[in-house]
Structure 1
Amino acid sequence: MAIMIKTPQEIEKMRQAGIILRQVHEAIRQAVKPGATTMDLERVAEAKIAELGAKPAFKGYHDYPWCLCTSVNEEVVHGMPSAKTVLKDGDIVSVDCGVILEGYYSDAAETYPVGKLSPAARKLLDVTKASLEQAIQEAQVGATLGDIGAAVQEMCEASGYGVVRDFVGHGIGRNMHEEPQVPNYGKRGKGTRLRAGMVLAIEPMINAGTHEVKVLKDGWTAVTVDGSLSAHFEHTVAITENGPLVLTR
């Protein structure tokens, strides 16, 4: 499949979807606390998406049943909301969500602290979030996908963290997943060259231990092989002549 170049009008539609998604994440942020379940977060998101006139992007995608992916502690990505998963003080929960507005998608993830974190958990969140910001700065016309991946890899591996290989970012637009794939590792100057009108979901998934992950028997939830914590941050970013435009800010 070819890389789809978006017009300024299409990017504006995606920005409107991104504004809604940011409001959904703000509602989730307020609901994350000790004693809440990941199903509580799902219900908050579902209600907020409906209230704002959008549709959930994940629900029904490859038969996935929920609006959110909620991945707790050693869960890396695609954890499923459950009334049995109760958040405890010191946990971290990665919440991934997407919405559709007038046929255009936005996608964003954030790892939320539950109560008071250990210094080690706090550092993992801070470094992963900073690596996303560094990657966004590389999303310039004429740069490459390798520049984006290298920015994440260099920062996170310098802290001794594992950069997940099995899951990567992606193009996004009228479809949830479009070309190109956007790895969180790579070599500067290598890979597809970035052009104005490309829109990418950039999403570092970073483990406190090794990069290795495995998928559980539910067929969705990916966890760290060594049981270490994992963090996940994501923004939808448009490549423009004036630099990167974060649509989910």
Structure 2
Amino acid sequence: MDNLDIKLWSLAARGQIVPDRSLLKTREQIREIKKSARLNTAVLDHVAAHIRAGMSTAEIDRLVYDFTTSHGGIPAPLNYEGFPKSVCTSINDVICHGIPDENEILQDGDIVNVDVSTILNGYYSDASRMFLIGDVSERARKLVQVTAECVERGLKAARPWGHLGDIAWAINSHARANGYSVVEDIGGHGIGLEFHEDPFVSYVTPKGTEMVLVPGMMFTIEPMINEGGPDFFIDEDNGWTVYTEDGGLSAQIEYMVLVTDDGIEVLTK
């Protein structure tokens, strides 16, 4: 039993939730995952350079597919559990998992989340950005700004040997202070060797709770912030698209992070 095993055993004996050693990435794995992450960031940059009012979300899907595959990658969402496209495009009151469509046209004033996930040489990466299309209302602009602030506050609250709940508390408290709510039943996830790994990352749990942040852990910080209540429903026709129950706007920004010995490293954003 090495020093890390002893420390994990000691924490577990005191009732702390600790990660299985399989969730702690090796140096070689981290090196390869970072290559995937760089491509994922480049895909989002490519979208940022082309997204505009008047284009369909299907065009965004083609941008993502063509750029990813031309650089040796695979779009992770494509055919994942039956998802039909290469990217998620979630507009206005869509919380997440919007499916690109030729007939869905970006309009002046829309806010849209573009969620890109990439497989490169068998390693996974993930991130999403909010885009403001044309002349966006102050109401929508504030929601996106506060969502960005929530992610940054969550990042600052994360530290090795802290807890996932520290991130959640920082995010939830800032969202609520601004009059918003955080979606409770959909959260972040571990990533790297698979698309979705343990742990589930909640954004509504108390400080000092949930899994201990151990160096080598890799997961996403991706709160979904609603201007109204946190309740949602899933489109019955496609089984994927998640909408706010009250029709209010929703925003999400996703970072993929690595816990290191002395801090938190952002791999994608």
| TM-score normalised by length of structure 2 | 0.90
The runs of at least 4 consecutive aligned structure 1 residues that moved more than 4 Å come to: none
- Choose the corresponding residue for 2:214, options 186, 195, 215: 195
| 2:203 paired with 1:184 | yes
The alpha carbon displacement at 1:8 in A equals 2.1
Equivalent runs, 1:19-168 vs 2, <5 Å: 19-168=38-187
Q: Aligned partners of 1:136, 1:159: CA distance in 2, in Å?
A: 18
Q: Secondary structure at the match of 1:142?
A: coil
The alpha carbon displacement at 1:86 in A equals 0.5
Q: Secondary structure at the match of 2:104?
A: coil
The alpha carbon displacement at 1:32 in A equals 1.7
- Choose the corresponding residue for 1:224, options 224, 232, 244: 244
Q: Aligned partners of 1:46, 1:38: CA distance in 2, in Å?
A: 12
C-alpha distance after superposition, 1:169-193 (max 9, x if no partner): 0011210111110011111111111
Q: Aligned partners of 1:30, 1:7: CA distance in 2, in Å?
A: 34
Q: Secondary structure at the match of 2:28?
A: helix
The alpha carbon displacement at 1:9 in A equals 2.1
The alpha carbon displacement at 1:129 in A equals 1.0
Q: Aligned partners of 1:24, 1:152: CA distance in 2, in Å?
A: 27
Which structure 1 residue ranges, 5 or more long, are not aligned?
none
C-alpha distance after superposition, 1:121-153 (max 9, x if no partner): 111011101111111122211110100111110
Maintained 8 Å contact 1:92/1:113: yes
The farther-off stretch of 92-101 and 25-34 is 25-34
2:9 corresponds in structure 1 to none
2:13 corresponds in structure 1 to none
CA-atom RMSD in angstroms: 1.2
Maintained 8 Å contact 1:203/1:235: yes
- Sequence identity percentage: 37
C-alpha distance after superposition, 1:95-127 (max 9, x if no partner): 111001111100001111111211111110111
Maintained 8 Å contact 1:166/1:213: no
Q: Secondary structure at the match of 2:48?
A: helix
2:7 corresponds in structure 1 to none
- Choose the corresponding residue for 1:211, options 207, 225, 230: 230
- Choose the corresponding residue for 1:175, options 194, 219, 231: 194
Maintained 8 Å contact 1:141/1:195: yes
- Choose the corresponding residue for 1:13, options 32, 48, 57: 32
Q: Aligned partners of 1:212, 1:200: CA distance in 2, in Å?
A: 24
2:256 corresponds in structure 1 to 236
| TM-score normalised by length of structure 1 | 0.97
AA matched with 1:248? T
The alpha carbon displacement at 1:165 in A equals 0.9
Q: Aligned partners of 1:50, 1:192: CA distance in 2, in Å?
A: 36
